[in-house]
Amino acid sequence: MSFIHLSILLSAIIGLVIITWIRSFDIYEKETFLAMLWAFLAGGATSVFIAVGIYEILGIFGINDSAISTTIGSFLVIGPVEEFAKLAGLMVVYGLIRRQFNELTDGIIYMSCVALGFSIIENYFYANSGESSQYLLFYRVFISTPAHISFSVIVGYAWYRHKMEKRPVRIVIGALLTASILHGIFDALAFSPWFNFLLLIYLYLIINQSLKIIQYTNIISPFRPAFTELFDHPTGEAVAELECPWCKSFAPKVLFRNSYFTACRCDNCGHHISSVRDIGKIFRIFAPEYRRFGKKLTTVKLGDGRTWLSVYGTAFFKNRGGYGFFMVSDISERLKVINDIAVTRFSKTSFISGNMLKRIFE
């Protein structure tokens, strides 16, 4: 198999893996794989076509690769051209599947698919540009691809608010300017022989920033259900022979099941019982954070003298593979606190200008 064919195969596999990963952040009203694949292909191809066209026009005026592969070129040419091209790709995607855009997260999801398509196509051409350039495919997949997606997240957010909430077009321009600057910084570091060691640190910062934006959109999603309401309608079934971790009762327990988690209620003590995995889902879904569940655990000793593993002092269990217990009211209050803090802290801890974020996000 030639490297060209191998790179096509690898690009396709990598693209599908990343699309699946992107989709995992769409918690409440997931987009279909077909719509995301369409955005990846149509949006990616459109954005590459537009970027190449602009670069060809610039070449007519003597602004070639050597002229733009500099710090100044990164900020004045590469960043604006490629981020504008990806926005154009999103506009095409929106025109084709506009009915799929029904929450803020969708703008980010489809923009990410467009950016992924742009990056995968770009990676392919870089990797097959010469005999000594094959290694670029692997380098760019792990460095450039997540960077391309992270630059454009804020544009997808602003585009949704402009089209679906009738916000003024200036928020899209502001987001495009922000994405262009972020892109320019990345390329300037990559081109610099003195500062390219900072590239991975910068990549971490922009990925972390993107996750904060996605977390914010999930918290305010109109499809996000109220946690307590999921316990208003039991299934009518009962779980037999399950010991309550707290009171040790084996009495039958009322079952609650929904598309997010399963729980049952011990009427002897009033606690609800779920598997550790389902407790993890509760905090992942209703207080959308992207830290590993294990990092949220602490050891606590309750009033009866027993020691438990705890999540935010509201859900308790003996080990990571068993069952835990909680009070619905306690978890509901904790979820609200976590989400309120995340929303309040969002602009304050961002390395993007607070004023810029305020114009785009409020």
Both tokens assigned to 160: 């949704």
Say yes or no: 136 and 9 in one domain.
yes
Q: Tell me, what's the pLDDT at 127?
A: 72
> pLDDT tens digit string along 243-292?
999 999 999 999 999 999 999 999 999 999 999 999 999 998 998 877 77
- In degrees rounded to 5, what are phi and psi of residue 151? -55, -40
Q: Are residues 208 and 291 in the same domain?
A: no
Residue 351 lies in a domain: no
* 125 or 216, which is more confident: 216
Question: What token pair was written down for 178?
Answer: 């922000």
Exposure class string for 245-282: b at 16+ Cβ within 10 A, else e? bbeeeeeebbbbeeebbbbbbbeeeebbbbbbebbbbb
Share of the chain above pLDDT 70, in %: 91
Are residues 338 and 207 located together in one domain of the fold?
Answer: no
pLDDT tens per residue, range 344-356? 877 665 556 555 6
User: Is residue 362 in a domain?
Assistant: no
195 and 265 belong to one structural domain: no
Q: What is the reported pTM? A: 0.88
Mean pLDDT check: name the lowest of 43-47, 315-319, 328-332. Answer: 315-319
In a domain, 311, yes or no: yes
In a domain, 90, yes or no: yes
28: nearest Cα among 165, 222, 227: 222
Beta bridge partners of 275: 323
Distance CA 150, CA 209 (A): 8
In this structure, what token pair is assigned to residue 175?
A: 């987001």
Predicted local distance difference test score (pLDDT) of residue 5:
66
Which among 249, 274, 275 has a CA at the least distance from the CA of 264?
A: 274
Q: Which of 224, 257, 273 delimits the end of a domain?
A: 224
Q: Which of 148, 155, 213, 154 is nearest to 187 (CA)?
A: 148
Residue 272 lies in a domain: yes
Instruction: Tell me how far apart the alpha carbons of residues 179 and 83 are, in angstroms, rounded to a whole number.
Output: 7
Supply 266's token pair: 């011990």
- What was the pLDDT predicted at 348? 65
Predicted pLDDT at 180: 96
Judgement on whether residues 62 and 102 belong to the same structural domain of the protein: yes
pLDDT, tens digit, 9 for 90 and up, residues 189-242: 988 888 888 999 999 999 988 888 898 899 999 999 999 999 999 999 999 989
Cβ distance 219 to 343 under 8 Å?
yes
Assess whether 240 and 282 both reside in one domain.
yes
Specify the DSSP class assigned to residue 30: P
- Tell me: the pLDDT tens digits for 128-143? 766 666 666 677 778 8
Assess whether pLDDT exceeds 70 at residue 55. yes
Residue 360 covered by a domain: no
Distance CA 308, CA 168 (A): 52
Q: Tens digit of pLDDT for each residue in 160-172?
A: 999 999 999 989 9
Assigned token pair, 105: 């997260």
How far is residue 171's CA from residue 128's CA, in Å, rounded to a whole number? 38
Of 188, 174, 42, residue with least CA distance to 117: 42
113 plus 39 within the same structural domain = yes
Average pLDDT of the segment spanning 292-305: 81
Question: In terms of pLDDT, which residue wins out, 359 or 109?
Answer: 109
Average pLDDT of the chain?
A: 88
- Beta strand residue intervals within the chain, DSSP E: 238-239, 253-257, 262-265, 272-275, 297-301, 307-311, 315-317, 323-326
3-state SS, residue 297: strand
Query: 278 and 129, same structural domain?
Result: no
Q: Which domain holds residue 333?
A: 228-344
Residue 317 pLDDT exceeds 70: yes
Average pLDDT over residues 37-56: 95
Q: Are residues 234 and 198 in the same domain?
A: no
**178 & 291 share domain:** no
Q: Is residue 255 part of a domain?
A: yes
Where among 206, 224, 242 does a domain terminate? 224
pLDDT at 17: 84
Residue ending a domain, among 167, 199, 224, is: 224
Q: Which residue, among 107, 125, 170, 120, has the nearest Cα to 146 in the 3D structure?
A: 120
The pLDDT of residue 241 is 87
Same domain, 330 and 281: yes
Going by the DSSP 8-state scheme, the letter that residue 247 receives in this structure is T
Domain count, the chain: 2
The pLDDT value recorded for residue 345 is: 75
Strand (E) positions, 217-333? Answer: 238-239, 253-257, 262-265, 272-275, 297-301, 307-311, 315-317, 323-326
Q: What is the pLDDT of residue 354?
A: 52
136 and 233 together in one domain:
no
Query: Averaged over 295-300, what is the pLDDT?
Result: 85
Domain-located, residue 358? no
